[in-house]
Amino acid sequence: MLRKFSFIKIFLFTFLFTSNGFAQEVQLDKLKLPEGFSIEVYANVNNPRQMTLGDDGTVYVGSMNKAGGRIYAVLNPNNAPKASEVVVITGGLKTPSGVTYKDGDLYVAAISRIYRYNDIANNIKSGNKPDIITSKLPTRTHHGWKFIEFGADGLLYIPIGAPCNICEPKEIFASIHRMDVNNPDKPFELYASGIRNTVGFDWDPVLGDLWFTDNGRDAMGDEMPADELNRITKKGMHFGYPYIHQGDTPDPKFGIGKSPDDYAPPAQNLAPHAGAIGMTFYKGDMFPDTFKNNIIIAEHGSWNRSDEAGHTGHMLTLVTVENGEAVKYEPFITGWLQNNEAWGRPADVLELKDGSLLIADDEANVIYRVSYKNQ
C-alpha cells in the first residue's frame, strides 16, 4: 500500500562532487518510500534530465546548459546495483535535455536541432561527429528544451513549448509534432496542440494512447492553475492553452469568450505548479501489481509559489489508470523537500530491464535506483 511509508536509511548522507567541484549532500535518509522499496545512488551525473536505455543496458542522459551542454553514457556492463562509469559523450550543445535510443543510434534534442549519434554503443568514447537530422525547430529558448521519444509508428515525437508564460503563439509552438527521421526534409506533422510545455510523455501499453504531462501557466496565484496529465486518443486534439487552463478555467486575457467544452480536458489534474515533467508507464514485474501499467511521474517542483503557500511537487507520484481513465493520483516517493527547502528535484524516470526504476535528480546531480523486495 502506498500510504504506509518506511524511512530508507541506507546512508545518513552522501557527499558527491560534481563536475564543477562542489560537494552536494544527498540525503537518502530523508526520502520516504512505500514498505518494501529501497533507494540508492546509481550514478553521479551533473544536471541529469531525460534518460534513455540502450540495448546493452547503457543509460544515456541529457542535460541543461548549466551542465555544459553535455550528454552522458552511464555504463553498467555487469548489471550491478550501481553503475561502473559515467562517460561524457560530448559537450557544448545547446540545452541537450532530450535523448532517445532507437536501432543502435542515440538521438539528442538541443533546442532547434535533432542530432543522431550512429552506432553509439561502439562509439561512446570515440568523439564521433553526429548527423544533424534537422535544424528547423524554433530557436526560441523559453520552453525550448525538449523531451523526445519514438512511437510505435516509428516516428519521432517532438514537443515544442510555448515561447512565453502566456501568449497566443504561432501554430508551431505549444504543440507536439512528429517527424520521420529517415525523411528529414519532409515537413513536421502537427500531432496535438494547446499544450503549454510538455517535457514528459509515454504510451499506454494496453490501449496505445499517448499520455503527457503539461505545466500550467504562472501568475494566476499559488493554487491556479493545476499542472495536467493529458491523454491523446486521436491526432489533432487541442488541450486548451492559452485559452483554458486545467480543463475548466478561462485565461483572464486569452480566455474571454472561450468555452472549456471546445477543448480536451485533462485526464488528471495534478498539483498546481508542481513541475510535472518526466513520466513513464511502469511495465515491469519487480514492483507490486498496483504499479503495473500505471503512470509514475517526476514532479520537479514549484519555483515561485509564495512562502505562505509553500512548495508543491519535489516528489514522485503514481497515477492509476483503468480502461484508459485516470482513477487515482497519489504520492509515491517524497522527501526531497524539507521545511519548504528542496535538496533534490526529480526530473525524469526510466525503467530498467530488471523492473527497477531510475530517477534523474538535476538538483542533487545524481541518478537514483529504486528497487522492490517483498517483505
The per-residue pLDDT for 15 is: 39
Of 302, 349, 363, the C-alpha closest to 61 is 349
User: How do strand 237-238 and strand 189-193 relate by DSSP bridges?
Assistant: parallel
Beta strands in 264-306 (DSSP E): 268-272, 276-281, 295-299
Evaluate if residue 9 carries a pLDDT over 90. no
Task: Classify 40 as helix, strand or coil.
Answer: strand
pTM for this predicted structure: 0.93
- Show Cβ contacts of residue 33 under 8 Å, excluding neighbours closer than 6 positions: 5, 6, 8, 39, 332, 333, 370
Which three cell numbers mark 189? 506533422
Distances (CA, A) of 193 to 146, 188, 268: 16, 13, 18
Given a cut of 90, is residue 329 above it in pLDDT?
yes
Confidence class of residue 151 from pLDDT cuts 50, 70 and 90?
A: very high
- Grid coordinates belonging to 286: 519487480
Closest CA to 130 of 98, 157, 108: 108
Residue 2 pLDDT: 43
Radius of gyration, alpha carbons of the chain:
20
For each of the domains in the chain, give its residue range(s) and CATH number, in order of start: 39-372 (2.120.10.30)
pLDDT > 70? residue 13: no
Q: Residue 60 and residue 205: Cα distance in Å, rounded?
A: 23
Owner of C-alpha cell 536509511: 9
Give the Å distances, CA to CA, from 20 to 23, 27, 47, 133, 233: 9, 20, 11, 31, 44
The closest alpha carbon to 301, from 271, 266, 325, belongs to 271
Query: What average pLDDT does the segment 330-335 reach?
Result: 98
Element (H, E) at 344: none
pLDDT for 215 beyond 80: yes
Residue 24: which pLDDT band, with cuts at 50, 70 and 90? Answer: low
Q: Is the pLDDT of residue 256 over 60?
A: yes
What would you measure as the largest C-alpha separation in the chain, in angstroms?
60
Mean pLDDT, range 326-354, rounded to an integer: 97
Q: Alpha helix (H) ranges present in the chain? A: none
Band the pLDDT of 324: cuts 50, 70, 90.
Answer: very high
Of the two residues 2 and 78, the one the predictor is more confident about is 78
Q: Estimate to the nearest angstrom the gap between the alpha carbon of 42 and the chain centroid.
A: 18
How many CB atoms sit inside 10 A of residue 143's CB?
22
Average pLDDT in the 44-64 region?
Answer: 97
Residues 80-137: tens digit of each pLDDT: 999 999 999 999 999 999 999 999 999 999 999 999 999 999 999 887 799 999 999 9
The confidence score (pLDDT) of residue 19 equals 37
Confidence of residue 363 (pLDDT cuts 50, 70, 90): very high
Q: Is the pLDDT of residue 41 over 80?
A: yes
Provide the mean pLDDT of the chain.
93
